[in-house]
Amino acid sequence: MKNILFVASECVPFIKTGGLADVVGTLPKIFDKNEYDCRVIIPNYRCIPDKYRDNFKYVHHFYMDMGERFNSVHVGIMEYELDGIKFYFVDNLFYFGGDKPYADTRYDIEKFIYFSKAVMAILPVINFRPDIIHCHDWQAGLVPVYLHTLYRDNPFYQGVKTIFTIHNLRFQGIWDIKTIRSLSGLPEWVFTPDKLEYKKDANMLKGGLVYADYITTVSDTYAGEIQTEYFGEGLNGLLSARNQSLCGIVNGIDYEAYNPETDTNITKQYGTKNCKKSKAANKKALQQEIGLPVDESKFVVSIISRLTDQKGLDLVRYALDRICDEFTQFVVLGTGDPQYENLFREYAWRMPGRLSANILFNEGFAHRVYAGSDAVLVPSQFEPCGLTQLIALRYGTVPIVRETGGLKDTVQPYNEFDGTGIGFSFANYNGDELLNTINYAKHIYFDCRKEWDQMVLRGMKTDYSWANSAKKYQDLYCRVLGW
Ligand code: ADP
């Protein structure tokens, strides 16, 4: 039996702002329970829905020193079991009492220093000694650092290995050395350029990358990209140096949660057999729900995304007038940077009946948008893996993507000559290429409908469940443990 602990800042179904939550909440369920005792630890945010929080079981609490600034900080431990997996929640209302998981950067830094240290301190209390601590993103970056410093000589942690998974290299947890040092209690010698120091500041993600036994990221292409200057976010040198301990394992999606045959969020359930008719019904229901003209002949293209520059929205801005022609309806579901929220609000006002801007986060509604759309647009500047295109494929919705990171690895482009491919893609970060690709997709949709419908079915039949990738993680765990 191998003991694995996932450490992360979000996890479905409890709390989600992006794809990280899907991965952390789904992957542990896939491992063979006879071989793996995989548990998950996240913060006990006040904004986790009460239907879960009310059922969390109190396990224990204690007080922990945290750097020079505070001693005796409260650490509560709550537990909840779901689908045979034990989830732990670090409880501290001062840090996790807000109405959303992340807020001001300085405050987040302190929050996740606290979280990382608390995770280390909790393990003997719950009597769970992981063989591997699997850390996700910068919020868990200090866990491997603590393991190799403050907890180095503690017998309980001897032989514990760490894997660090990069879901997005852009977010790193950077603040000045003095503050991070005094909050974390880490020794002075880790704040050097070969360890946590980064351009005179301290970088929590870098700490994880330096100290982890192995690094993974969420697609093969992104694993290569982050070793280059353009995608490396200032850490490409370090990542190239760790090249022998770095690989990409592409994400899957939860085939139970995202299953159009059983999904109760959508109007009409469907599989590959009754897809065409049912998708038309879902399209009409969606149009009605969001106040667009109910007309199944329109090409409905959607964006379901955090609204940030990473997601290629500057290209969309450039082409939007021309995308929204009289045959097309454009649906946006997302929140984020006000400049993009307002861009879509403005277009909804300028182009009534053609563009619907839904500036909100709603999981159930997202399912209806996936089911009711003909195509989903993911023109990202960079995309470590991307789940949107995988969910779209499952719902018979054709992804139109830029060839970067996981988008490149998962969306084989349509080839009209041999009738292969499951989506459309373009190579360069360029608005005209985006527009041309959308226009080409429309041409296939309107003029070669049979080919389009076959492409939809090929997409639905492509297996992007977690089975393959979970196997790769298991192989990696064995390799890291030398078993
Ligand atoms: P990222 O992690 O960079 O945000 P991913 O493509 O990996 O991007 O994951 C995004 C996830 O969040 C998908 O499951 C997508 O459906 C979901 N999502 C994004 N925005 C919204 C929203 N406004 N409402 C509901 N779900 C959303």
Pair (58, 188) in one structural domain? yes
439's enclosing H/E stretch is helix 431-447
Q: Which atom of ligand 1 is nearest to the CA of 251?
A: 7
**What CATH number has the domain bearing residue 458?**
3.40.50.2000
H or E stretch at 207:
helix 204-211
Same domain, 310 and 325: yes
* E strands present in 20-124: 36-43, 57-66, 70-82, 85-91
Q: What is the pLDDT of residue 19?
A: 87
| CA of 12 relative to ligand 1 center, distance in Å | 12
245-282 tens-digit pLDDT: 999 999 999 999 999 999 999 999 999 999 999 999 99
Whether 258 is covered by a domain: the verdict is no
> Has residue 143 got a pLDDT over 90?
yes
- Distance from the Cα of residue 445 to its chain's centroid: 30
Residues 6+ apart with CB under 8 A from 177: 191, 196, 197, 200, 201, 202
In this structure, the answer to whether residues 280 and 354 fall within a common structural domain is yes
Residue 262 lies in a domain: no
Integer-rounded Cα radius of gyration of the chain? 23
Are 119 and 225 part of one and the same domain? yes
Distance CA 382, CA 395 (A): 24
Q: Are residues 33 and 98 in the same domain?
A: yes
Residue 14 CA to ligand 1 centre (angstroms): 15
- Sequence-distant (6+) residues with CB within 8 A of 27 are 6, 466, 469, 470, 473
Which residues have any ligand 1 atom within 6 Å of their CB? 18-20, 22, 304-306, 333-335, 361-363, 366, 385-388, 391
Q: Are residues 217 and 332 in the same domain?
A: no
Residue nearest to atom 24 of ligand 1 (CA): 361
Supply the residue whose CA is at minimum distance from atom 22 of ligand 1: 361
Give per-residue burial for 358-385: e unless 16+ CB within 10 Å, then b: bbeeeeebbbbbbbbbbbbbbbbbbbbb
The identity of residue 131, as a single letter, is D
* Per-residue model confidence as pLDDT tens digits over 85-102: 999 999 999 999 999 999
- What separation in Å is there between the alpha carbon of 350 and the centre of ligand 1? 26
Assess whether 436 and 475 both reside in one domain.
Answer: no
Take atom 17 of ligand 1 and give the residue whose Cα is closest. Answer: 18
Instruction: Give domain status of residue 283, yes or no.
Output: yes
pLDDT (tens digit per residue) in 44-67? 999 999 999 999 999 999 999 988
Q: Across all residues in the chain, what is the average pLDDT?
A: 97
- When pLDDT is averaged across residues 390-415 and rounded to a whole number, the result is 98
Same domain, 426 and 472: no
DSSP 8-state symbol, 414: P
Residue 396, both tokens: 């018979």
Considering the domain architecture, whether residues 13 and 74 belong to the same structural domain is answered as yes
Asked if residue 419 is part of any domain, the answer here is: yes
Strand ranges for 51-188 from DSSP E: 57-66, 70-82, 85-91, 132-136, 161-166, 174-176
Could you give the C-alpha distances from 331 to 289, 353, 372, 376, 440, in angstroms and in order? 12, 10, 10, 9, 19
The C-alpha atoms of residue 78 and residue 60 are separated, in whole angstroms, by 7
pTM of the model: 0.94
pLDDT of amino acid 68 = 77
Whether residues 312 and 410 share a domain: the answer is yes
Q: Which residues contact 70 (CB under 8 A, 6 or more apart)?
A: none
Per the listing, tokens 């690709």 go with 437
Count of domains in the chain? 2
Judged against a pLDDT cut of 90, whether residue 199 lies above it is answered with: yes
Beta pairing, strands 355-358 & 375-378: unpaired
| Secondary structure in 3-state letters for 337-405 | CHHHHHHHHHHHHHCCCCEEEECCCCHHHHHHHHHHCCEEEECCCCCCCCCHHHHHHHCCCEEEEECCH
DSSP bridge partners of 426: 402
Distance of CA 391 to the CA centre of its chain: 13
Instruction: Give the tens place of pLDDT for each residue, 299-331.
Output: 999 999 999 999 999 999 999 999 999 999 999
Best residue among 217, 254, 304, 382 to mutate for probing ligand 1's pocket (most ligand atoms within 8 Å of CB) is: 304
Taking the centre of ligand 1 as the mean of its atom positions, its distance from the CA of residue 333, in whole angstroms, is 9
Q: Which of 136, 218, 302, 305 to mutate to test the pocket of ligand 1 (most atoms within 8 A of CB)?
A: 305
How much of the chain, in percent, has pLDDT values that exceed 90?
98
In the numeric block, which tokens belong to residue 120? 């280390």
For residue 104, give its domain range: 2-252+467-481
* CA 387 to ligand 1 center in whole angstroms: 7
Whether residue 302 is found in the same domain as residue 446: yes
pLDDT digits (tens, 9 = 90+) for 464-483: 999 999 999 999 999 999 97
Confidence band (pLDDT; 50, 70, 90) for 124? very high
Q: Give CA–CA dist 342/340, Å, rounded.
A: 5
| Span from the CA of 41 to the centroid of ligand 1 (angstroms) | 21
The predicted structure's pLDDT at residue 70: 76
Domain assignment present for 259 = no
CA 130 to centroid of ligand 1, rounded, Å:
30
Give the number of the atom of ligand 1 that is nearest the alpha carbon of residue 310: 3
Mutate to test the pocket of ligand 1, among 10, 306, 356, 365 (most ligand atoms within 8 A of CB): 306
State the pLDDT confidence band at 13, using cuts at 50, 70 and 90: very high
Ligand 1 centroid to Cα of residue 19, in Å, is: 6
CA of 333, closest atom in ligand 1:
23
Write down the pLDDT at residue 18: 86
Residues 477 and 441 in one domain: no
The average pLDDT across 226-237 equals 98
* pLDDT tens per residue, range 416-458: 999 999 999 999 999 999 999 999 999 999 999 999 999 999 9
**Mean per-residue pLDDT, 215-219:** 98
Burial class (CB in 10 A: 0-12, 13-18, 19+), 355: buried
pLDDT of 83 above 90 = yes
Only one residue has tokens 């180095």, namely 152
Tell the burial category of 3 from Cβ atoms under 10 Å away from its Cβ (0-12, 13-18, 19+). Answer: middle
